[in-house]
Every structure is written in structure tokens, then in C-alpha cells.
Structure 1
């Protein structure tokens, strides 16, 4: 199953939405990669197994389940998560890409590529729609938390 959607970060027509700079959005995306337990419900802990300038190998612990992934950071552009499939966890990838069509507008594109089957019957289609909705809600929450951490005063310490 493939799925993508766009979340508007800055809305020049709505003064009630605080604006973020591209650098602030990037800082939030890096924070999500380095400390995902602040963003992902049900994630108990994250261990960064190895790190280069632009990549991380991580181990994510959800109760008794462990998931490994590879994170690729393209500075001020995108973060890609490649999740290794296990018996109990769907593999695939998630890419979050910053899009800035002009100086006033800022968007974050979420692209999912999973090993879930494409919808070829009603049950699979309904399951697919539920998964897409969960992804969308999670991504909206990610943007809300980035706003809170980057623009608010309750920023966690960044670990480098």
C-alpha cells in the first residue's frame, strides 16, 4: 500500500496559525528522528545503534516488540525512515519532505510505502482506509508536537 498526503505548516491567510521557518521545521523533524518516544504513542524507548553524519540505525521498543529501522537525513529537505519487516510488524518506508513553494508557504509531505496489500476487495479496502486515517492522524499530531517543541517553551533537551 502506498499513501501520501500534505500538511500545511504556514498559512499566510490565517494569522492564528503561528508561522515556522524551514529551519525550525527541520529542527522538529530531527528531534522526531532522535527522540521518537516524544512523538510516537506506545513507543517505550529508542536506542540509536549507529550513526553517521546523515544516517542512523535505530531499535524501537514497543512493549515486548522490537522494530529496527534506518533513518536517512537530507538536511533541511527530508527524513526517510526505512522500517525492517518482522513477523509482527509491517515493513516499508516513510518519507517526510519539506516543501516551500514561496517565502510565505511551508508544507510537509508524508509518503508511506508499506508491504500491506493494495485494495483488491472490500475488506482490504476498508483496512487500507483505516490505516491511512491512522497515518494521517499521527502526522497531524507530529506537526502539532513539532510546533509545541519548536515554538513553545517546553522544548526537550536535544541529544547529539
Structure 2
């Protein structure tokens, strides 16, 4: 399953939504890389196994399941999470890109690639809309957490 969507960050028409700049978004995404617990419900711990200039290998402990992912950073532009296939997880990826079609008009694009329902006759196809909805809600929560961090608050 491939799924992507945009979340608008700044809205000049809505004064109740404080604007963020690219640096604030980038710092929020880096926070998600370094301390993913507020962004991933059920995560018990995250261990960084390897660190290179623009890449990290992490181990995410969800209690009954442990997942390894490789995170690739493109400075102030995007973060890509590649879940490594294992006996308990088929793998997949999420790329979060900062888009700015006009100065000050910021968006985050979330692009998922999974093995879910890759076969046309797969029973998993019935779950696709549910999964897309869950991904979307998770991404809305991600933006909420980034806004909280940018305002100097603690993520919850």
C-alpha cells in the first residue's frame, strides 16, 4: 500500500494557529528521530545503534515487538524511516518532507510505503481505509507535538 497526504502548517486566514517556520518544523522532526516515544504510542524505549552524518540505525522496543529502522536525514527537507524487514515485521517506509510552495506557506507531506494488501486478492485490503485513517491521525498528532515543542512546551 502506498499512501500520502499533506498537512498544512501555516494558515494566514486562521490567526488562532500560530505560524511555524522551516527551522521549527525541522527541529520537531529531529526530536521525533532522537526521542520518538511521544510520537509512537506504546513505545517503551528507543536505542540508537549506529549514527553517521545523515543516517541512524535505531531499535524500537514496543514490549512484545522490537523493530529496527534506518533513519535518513536530508537537512531541513525530509526524514525517511525505513523499517527493516524481520520475522515479526514485513518492513516499509515513511518519508516526511517539508514543502514550501510559497514563502511562509509550509506543509508536511507524509508518504507511506508498506507491504499491506500488495496482492489484489489480499484479505488485508479490507483494512486499508482503517490503516490510512490511523496513519492520518498519527500525523495530525505529530504536528500537534511539533507545535507544542515549538511553543516551548513538553510533548505528551
TM-score (ref. length: structure 2): 0.93
Question: Could you tell me how far 1:119 is from its partner in structure 2?
Answer: 7.0
Structure 2 equivalent of residue 151 of structure 1: 151
Structure 1 equivalent of residue 5 of structure 2: 5
Q: 1:67-94: per-residue Cα shift (whole Å, max 9, x none)?
A: 0010000000000000012232231110
Structure 1 equivalent of residue 77 of structure 2: 77
Q: Give the number of equivalent residue pairs.
A: 156
Question: Could you tell me how far 1:39 is from its partner in structure 2?
Answer: 1.2
Secondary structure, aligned partner of 1:18: coil
Higher alpha-carbon deviation: 67-76 or 79-88: 79-88
> Contact conserved, 2:116 with 2:124, CA < 8 A, in 1?
no
C-alpha change, 1:23 and 1:122, in structure 2 (3 Å) is same
Question: Could you tell me how far 1:154 is from its partner in structure 2?
Answer: 2.8
Secondary structure, aligned partner of 1:10: coil
Gaps of 5+ in 2: none
Structure 2 equivalent of residue 61 of structure 1: 61
> Contact conserved, 1:12 with 1:104, CA < 8 A, in 2?
no
> Within 1, Cα distance between the matches of 2:119 and 2:20?
37
> Within 2, Cα distance between the matches of 1:108 and 1:11?
13
Structure 1 equivalent of residue 93 of structure 2: 93
Report whether the alignment pairs 1:137 with 2:137: yes
> Contact conserved, 2:44 with 2:63, CA < 8 A, in 1?
yes
> Within 2, Cα distance between the matches of 1:84 and 1:15?
42
Gaps of 5+ in 1: none
Report whether the alignment pairs 1:21 with 2:15: no
TM-score (ref. length: structure 1): 0.91
CA RMSD of aligned residues (A): 1.7
Secondary structure, aligned partner of 1:101: strand
> Contact conserved, 1:82 with 1:94, CA < 8 A, in 2?
yes
